[in-house]
Every structure is written in structure tokens, then in C-alpha cells.
């Protein structure tokens, strides 16, 4: 073999139900690198790991894995641990998956472990961090600029965020088929990764802001706040439910990104500005021009996936479009389904139905569209055909980005009730563009309530007066997009 592509040509076609065993042996020095002090980095994680993905996360099988590692070096892998032993100078561990999975992976190191067992969802959550720092961190410490950079001290942080994310997502999406999840430190500084039952967290996630600033990894967009919940969300989006092709991969990354917003909103409920900033950052990623002079949102539909990244438009397009726009699409569905009485109940039913229907197999964009149509509200039926074509054509298969201008005032009706007078101008779209634009009121006590939604079509201005029955005291103000309900340029 001279590359990662491996093919087997059988001597004859296999009959239905027939089994065939293929045994291979291969070795090499570049699969895992020694980063010092018991830290190891799995370099070729996308090439030599056993997987059935075939270019997408949509084919499932079970795995039975056995690892041999140097004594004192612990392996953590996908599946459940079914055996541990010491043979000579090696640690031997065996792992077996209870349910079919798309990929198998592992992490290893001189790990210290924290764990917590949840009753609902029923899940064993573990967190692993290395006892000693890798060589790159030792070099920084030796300058005398910083004190301890031990990741073990913050191991409980990864455990807590894993537990909290599982609880939030299980409530929204339903429980997973897996019964364990390991949050593990890796030496990479700028990315996380998710495998079934196993999460990689960048070592810098376990540093404080001062340390990250010193090594040049400031975090203006809050990446380190959401990297753990984002990767945990992939247990649903990408693993429990696969994606059929690169055209559907936006659901995996976008849904995981949107899930992180649910985590932020739930965990930081007393700091709503964090949720607001999350969506402001997402919009900025899509609408700020890259070094090639292109706004990612103009590059093409998200269903083009990684094909949008190229030398002409920029190789950063995939990250700056697929993640945030995919997140926004799901967020807009959530906001359209939100109800003043039942809150997120309809959205939860939609997502739980989607998970239950497609668990253990690949889903397509059209599968998700059909599920949204199954649960859509009457207000979402803007074309009167019980279809969501209008929305998917605009944001999934298109590159629309509306602009809005909202002005309002309050009057008093003859009976003393307050009347809201407003104008809403929608622009920058084609003649068929439709949207539900929620209108909010802020009261004198600071409370925010959702009044209803305007329904502009094309480049038009909605000019309307709405009596607020029984309301005698004028609200402080009226405004739109309080929860970043609509992806727009402003």
C-alpha cells in the first residue's frame, strides 16, 4: 500500500448472507507521534483508523478492538471496555461496540481519570487528561513566564461540560444508544473531534485565558466555551445519525454548532448576552470578507459542502459557512416552531422524531425537510401547500441574505389601550423571498415578550397597527430578531 485507499477484490461474488473474513497486517511510524511526557498525538486519524465511512458517515458496523500500548500508557477507545491485562511490558485493552457505529477511534496517554454516572440519561461520563505537559508546553513553562499549565487540574471542567451537554441534548433530541462517553485531552491546540463514545478536546481547552493569550490563542469568538458541547453534540449528529453524502454534511456540523447554542442558553441563562454573542459571531463568520475578498455566504449553497473551499474563493469557506449557516438554519426552524405557551415543545418533538427515525443510518437534507414539514406550524405554511420549499430554497439550496429596517411607535386608542404602529422594510432579496419576522416588546420591568410575526414577501415594507388589547401602559420599545430569529445582514 502506498496510500490510505484499501480495496479487496473477492475471487467470486458473495451470496446473500455469506460471510468472508479478510485479515490484514500493516505497520508504520507515523500513525501516532510521541509528544513527550506521556502525551501522544494520533496523526493519521482520518486515514488508517478502521471505518466503514467510505467518504461519509452513513454506513454502520460493529467493532471489536484490541490495543497494546507501553506500560503506564492508557488507551481510551470507542465501544465498551471488555478486558484489561498486562503482558510483558505492554498494557492490553479490548473494546467492543454494543451497537453498530460508523467509525472507530482511540486516544492514549498517561491519563488521569474523572467520572460521573448519570441516571437520566443513563450514561457513564468520563474525562481523561495527561499527568504531564507535552514538550511544546514544557518549552513555554521553561521561559518562566507562566506557572503551572497542568491540564489535570481542570479535568473536572471537561467532565462537567460533558455531563451538562448530555442532559441538555437528551432533553431536546432524545437519548443516545450509547451508554458511555469519554472526554479526552489531545495535544492539538486548535480543534476538537468526536468519535462514537469518544471526544478529543484540544489541550488549550484546559488552559485559562491568561495562558492561552501568552501562547497566542486568544478567544474573541468564544470557541473554547463551545468546543466541548459542540463535539458532544456529534454523538447525535454524525454518529447516531449519519449523513448520506457531502451534500448533507452541513447537518452534522451545523446541527452540532446549533446544539452548542442550546447549551450556552441553558447553562448561562443568567448571562443572556452570551447567547446573543454566539449568534452575532456566527453571522459575522459568514458575512465578513475573507482574504480573497469574498463573503462566505455568497460562495454557494451549503449543500455544496467542502466543494465550496478552493483557491479562488478561499479554503476557509467550509468552516466559515457550513458550520454557522447550518446552525442558523436549524435555529430558525426552532424559532418558527416556538410557542408562547409550550415554548420549544414542538421543536423537541421534531428533533426527537428525526433522531428516532434515522438512528443508525444516514439521513439526507430532504429527509430533514420532510420531518420539518411533518411537524410545521400553520404559521410556517407561507405558501399554503404544507411545504417548506420556500424556506429551504432560500437558505439551504440558495444564498439569500435579507436586510431589515424596523421603526415603531406607540399610540393610545380611544378605549385607553396601547396600539403598536410599525413599519418593517425587507430588502436585498428576490421577489419570491418570504419570511416570518418575529416582533418583540420590552416592558417597563425589562421583561421581553414575543408579540407575533410579520410576513413580508420580496422587497417590501409592511406598515401596520396592532392594538394591544387590555394594555394601558406603553412598552419601552418594540423590535425584531431578539433571539437572532432570522439570518439577516443586520
How confident is the model at residue 29, as a pLDDT? Answer: 74
Contacts of 398 (CB under 8 A, 6+ apart): 301
| Short-list 392, 403, 393, CA closest to 429 | 403
Residues in the chain predicted with pLDDT less than 50, given as ranges, are 1, 145, 147
Residue whose C-alpha cell reads 411537524 in the numeric block? 375
Contacts of 290 (CB under 8 A, 6+ apart): 296, 314, 316, 317, 320
Spell out the alpha helix ranges (H) of 271-380: 272-287, 317, 323-337, 345-358, 365-375
How confident is the model at residue 131, as a pLDDT? Answer: 86
C-beta of residue 304 within 8 angstroms of C-beta of residue 318: no
Alpha-carbon span 347 to 349, nearest angstrom: 5
Query: SS3 of 487, please?
Result: coil
Return the number of other C-beta atoms located less than 10 Å from residue 266's C-beta.
Answer: 17
Residue whose C-alpha cell reads 468519535 in the numeric block? 195
How confident is the model at residue 44, as a pLDDT? Answer: 72
Query: In degrees rounded to 5, what are phi and psi of residue 224?
Result: -75, -15
Q: What is the pTM of this model?
A: 0.92
How confident is the model at residue 1, as a pLDDT? Answer: 43
Q: Could you report the per-residue pLDDT of 153-189, keeping only the tens digit for each?
A: 778 999 999 999 999 999 999 999 999 999 999 988 8
Domain boundaries, the chain: 32-52+63-96+103-237, 269-395, 403-480
How confident is the model at residue 147, as a pLDDT? Answer: 47
C-beta of residue 121 within 8 angstroms of C-beta of residue 175: yes
Alpha-carbon span 422 to 456, nearest angstrom: 13
Alpha-carbon span 169 to 234, nearest angstrom: 11
Contacts of 301 (CB under 8 A, 6+ apart): 396, 397, 398, 399
Amino acid at each position: 500500500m502506498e496510500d490510505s485507499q484499501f480495496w479487496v477484490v473477492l475471487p467470486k461474488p458473495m451470496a446473500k448472507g455469506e460471510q468472508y473474513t479478510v485479515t490484514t497486517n500493516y505497520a508504520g511510524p507515523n500513525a501516532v507521534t510521541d509528544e513527550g511526557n506521556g502525551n501522544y498525538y494520533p496523526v493519521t486519524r482520518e486515514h488508517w483508523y478502521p471505518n466503514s465511512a467510505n467518504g461519509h458517515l452513513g454506513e454502520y458496523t460493529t467493532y471489536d478492538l484490541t490495543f497494546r500500548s507501553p506500560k503506564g500508557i492508557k488507551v481510551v477507545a470507542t465501544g465498551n471496555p471488555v478486558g484489561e491485562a498486562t503482558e510483558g511490558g505492554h498494557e492490553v485493552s479490548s473494546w467492543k461496540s454494543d451497537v453498530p457505529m460508523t467509525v472507530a477511534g482511540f486516544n492514549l496517554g498517561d491519563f488521569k481519570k474523572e467520572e460521573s454516572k448519570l441516571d437520566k440519561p443513563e450514561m457513564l461520563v468520563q474525562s481523561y487528561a495527561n499527568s504531564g505537559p507535552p514538550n511544546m508546553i514544557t518549552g513555554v513553562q521553561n521561559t518562566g513566564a507562566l506557572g503551572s499549565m497542568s491540564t489535570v487540574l481542570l479535568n473536572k471542567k471537561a467532565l462537567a461540560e460533558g455531563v451538562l451537554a448530555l442532559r441538555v441534548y437528551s432533553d431536546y433530541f432524545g437519548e443516545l444508544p450509547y451508554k458511555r462517553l469519554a472526554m479526552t485531552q489531545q495535544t492539538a491546540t486548535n480543534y476538537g473531534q468526536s468519535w462514537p463514545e469518544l471526544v478529543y478536546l484540544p489541550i488549550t481547552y484546559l488552559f485559562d485565558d491568561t495562558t492561552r493569550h501568552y501562547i497566542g490563542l486568544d478567544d474573541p469568538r468564544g470557541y473554547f466555551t463551545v468546543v466541548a458541547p459542540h463535539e458532544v453534540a456529534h454523538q447525535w449528529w454524525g454518529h447516531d445519525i449519519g449523513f448520506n453524502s457531502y451534500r448533507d454534511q452541513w447537518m452534522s456540523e451545523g446541527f452540532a454548532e446549533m446544539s452548542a447554542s442550546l447549551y450556552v442558553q441553558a447553562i448561562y441563562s443568567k448571562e443572556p448576552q452570551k447567547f446573543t454573542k454566539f449568534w452575532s459571531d456566527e453571522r459575522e463568520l459568514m458575512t465578513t470578507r475573507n482574504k480573497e475578498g469574498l463573503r462566505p455566504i455568497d460562495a454557494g449553497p451549503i449543500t455544496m459542502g467542502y466543494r465550496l473551499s478552493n483557491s479562488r474563493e478561499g479554503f476557509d469557506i467550509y468552516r466559515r459557512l457550513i458550520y454557522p449557516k447550518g446552525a442558523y438554519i436549524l435555529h430558525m426552524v426552532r424559532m418558527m416552531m416556538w410557542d408562547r405557551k409550550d415554548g420549544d415543545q414542538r421543536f423537541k418533538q421534531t428533533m426527537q422524531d428525526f433522531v428516532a427515525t434515522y438512528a443508525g443510518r444516514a439521513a439526507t437534507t430532504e429527509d430533514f425537510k420532510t420531518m420539518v414539514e411533518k411537524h410545521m406550524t400553520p404559521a410556517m405554511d407561507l405558501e399554503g401547500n404544507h411545504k417548506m420549499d420556500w424556506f429551504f430554497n432560500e437558505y439551504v439550496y440558495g444564498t439569500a441574505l435579507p436586510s431589515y429596517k424596523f421603526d415603531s411607535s406607540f399610540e393610545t386608542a380611544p378605549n385607553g389601550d396601547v396600539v403598536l404602529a410599525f413599519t418593517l422594510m425587507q430588502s436585498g432579496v428576490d421577489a419570491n423571498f418570504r419570511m416570518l419576522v418575529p416582533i418583540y416588546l420590552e416592558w417597563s420591568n425589562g421583561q421581553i415578550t414575543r408579540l407575533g410575526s410579520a410576513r413580508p414577501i420580496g422587497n417590501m415594507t409592511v406598515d401596520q397597527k396592532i392594538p394591544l388589547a387590555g394594555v394601558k401602559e406603553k412598552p419601552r420599545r418594540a423590535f425584531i430578531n431578539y433571539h437572532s430569529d432570522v439570518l439577516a445582514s443586520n
